[in-house]
Amino acid sequence: MKTMKLLALLLLALPAIVRAQTFTYTNGNDVFFYSITNNNTINIINWGAQNLDDSGPVIIPSVMNGLTVTSIGFGAFNSRTTLTGVTIPNTVTSIGNDAFATCYSLTNVTIPDSVTSLGSGVFDGCNNLASVTIPNSLTSIGDSDFYGCALTNVSIPNSVTSIGASAFSCPNLTSITIPNSVTNIGDYAFSGTSLTSVTIPNSVTSIGIAAFEECYSLTNITIPNSVTNIADSTFYECYVLADVYFTGNAPTIGGGYAFKDYTHTTAHYLPGTTGWDEFTANTGVSAVLWLPQLQTIDGNFGVLTNGFGFNISWASGQVLVVEASTNLANPVWSPVTTNTFISDLSYFSDPQWTNYPGRFYRLRSP
C-alpha cells in the first residue's frame, strides 16, 4: 500500500517537472510571453499588448532579459487581426507552424537571412499580406505558408528546393520566379492564382496534384524534360490555357482530369521527342511540332549598331543555324551563325549585311 501511494505521488508530481515555464517581457505596449530553450535562448510563445491595444506594427527584440531570441513558436501571433506589420530580428532561425496565421491586417513582412526553418501555415490566411521577402537561407517553403495572401509577385531564392502544398495559392498572384534549385512542387501549390505564364525549371522532377488547378488566367506554361508525369487535375479548369511547351518526351498522365476537356489547348513538342500520339489520345490535347520563331515586333528587330539582327524564340538548350541568301528566285544559302539557346530567346546579328544589296534569312537545324 505504501509503495502504491508513493507511485501515485510521483505521477501527480511529474507534470510540474516537465512543464515549460513561461516568462514575460514588456517592451513599450508589447508584452511577449516566452520560454527558455535547452540552448538558453528564447522561444516566443505568445504576444499581447497592454491596455488591450494590439494594433499597428510590432518590433520583436533580438534580446529579452539578457537572452537571445532565436525562435517564434507555434501560433505565437496567430489571429492578431489588427497587427499591420512585424519586424523579425536577424537572431531568429526558426518560425513555427501558424506563427502569423490569419493576421488579416498584416501587409508586409521581411523574413531575415538568419531564418533557416519555416513551418507550415506561417502566414496562412493573411489576406492583406501583399509583400514578402524570402531569404536565401531557406531550403523549403512549407505547406500553406502563404495560402490566401494578397501577394502579386514572388521571387523564390535559389536556395529553395521544395515548395509545399498550397504554399502560394494566392488569388492575386500574377508573377512567380521558380529557380533551378527547386525539385518538388507540392499539391495545389499555385492553385487559384492569376498567373498568365509560367516556366518550370529543369530541376523540377515532381509536380503535385492540382498544382495549377483553377488558374483561370494561365495562358501558357513550359514543362521541362525532367518532369515525366502530369498528376491528376494539374491544369483542371485552366480555361484559357492555350499553349503547353514540353522540352522532353510526352509525360505520362496521372489522371483523367490533368487536362480535362482542353480541346482548345495545344501541346508543343521538340524534334526527336516521342509519345505524342498517346498523349493526345489520353488528354484530348492536340500536339504540334515546336519550331523556332523569328521575332519581328520587339525592339531588337532591324538595324542596330552591330548590324542587322533579330531575336529568335525557342527552347533553352536547342541549337540552330541561321543561313542567308541574296536571291530568293535561285537561292544559295550560306550559314552565318550557329545559335545555342541558353534561355528561351537567342539574338542573331549579321554585321556583314551592308555588303549586299539584299539579304534574306532562314533557320535550320545543325
| Residue 322, beta-bridge partner list | 337, 363
Residue 249's pLDDT is 97
Q: Mean pLDDT throughout 326-341? A: 93
Residue 276 grid cell: 505524342
> pLDDT category, 48, cuts 50, 70, 90?
confident
Q: Which residues, listed in sequence order, are joined to residue 243 by a DSSP beta bridge?
A: 220, 266
| Each residue's pLDDT tens digit, 175-196 | 999 999 999 999 999 999 999 9
Q: Lowest-confidence range among 26-35, 290-299, 301-310, 343-352?
A: 301-310
Q: Which band of pLDDT confidence, cut at 50, 70 and 90, is reported for residue 1?
A: very low
Q: Give the C-alpha separation, 144 to 113, whole Å.
A: 21
Band (pLDDT 50/70/90 cuts) for residue 10 is: very low
Q: What mean pLDDT is predicted for residues 55-76?
A: 94
pLDDT at residue 26 greater than cutoff 50:
yes
pLDDT given for residue 264 in this prediction: 85
Per-residue confidence (pLDDT) for residue 7, from 0 to 100: 39
Q: Given the DSSP bridges, would you call strands 220-223 and 302-304 parallel, antiparallel or unpaired?
A: unpaired
Q: Residue 8: what pLDDT? A: 39
CA distance between the termini of the chain: 93
What integer best gives the mean pLDDT of the chain? 90
pLDDT per position as a tens digit, 225-250: 999 999 999 999 999 999 999 999 99
Instruction: Give the pLDDT of residue 54.
Output: 62
Neighbours of 246 (CB within 10 A): 25
What are 352-359's contacts with CB under 8 Å, separation 24+?
352/307, 353/303, 353/307, 353/308, 354/307, 356/326, 357/326, 358/326, 358/327, 359/308, 359/324, 359/325, 359/326
pLDDT exceeding 70 applies to what percent of the chain? Answer: 92
pLDDT class of 53 with cuts at 50, 70, 90: low
Q: Which residue has the higher pLDDT, 49 or 167?
A: 167
Residue 166 has pLDDT above 60, yes or no: yes
Residues paired with residue 36 on neighbouring β-strands, in sequence order = 42
pLDDT class for 221, splitting at 50, 70, 90?
very high
- For position 353, what pLDDT does the model report? 86
Partner residues linked to 335 by β-bridges: 323
pLDDT reading at 52 higher than 60 = no
What's the confidence (pLDDT) of residue 2? 38
Q: Please answer whether residues 133 and 155 qualify as being in contact, where contact means their C-beta atoms are separated by less than 8 angstroms.
A: no
Give DSSP secondary structure letters for 312-344.
EE--TT-EEEEEEES-SSS---EEEEEEE-SSS
Which is it for strands 307-313 and 345-350: parallel, antiparallel or unpaired? antiparallel
In this prediction, residue 51 carries a pLDDT of 59
pLDDT at position 95 over 60: yes
Task: Decide if pLDDT at 36 tops 60.
Answer: yes
Give me the pLDDT at residue 333, please.
95
What element of type H or E holds 67?
A: strand 67-72
Q: Indicate the burial class of 271 (C-beta count within 10 angstroms; 0-12, 13-18, 19 or more).
A: exposed
Whether the per-residue pLDDT at 6 is higher than 50: the answer is no
One-letter identity of residue 165: A
Q: Distance between CA 111 and CA 134 in Å, rounded?
A: 6
> pLDDT band at 82, cuts 50/70/90?
confident
The pLDDT of residue 15 = 42
Maximum alpha-carbon separation in the chain: 114
Using the predicted structure, report yes or no on whether residue 13 has a pLDDT greater than 50: no
Confidence check: pLDDT of 12 > 50: no
Please state, in angstroms and rounded to a whole number, the distance separating the CA atoms of residues 99 and 70.
14
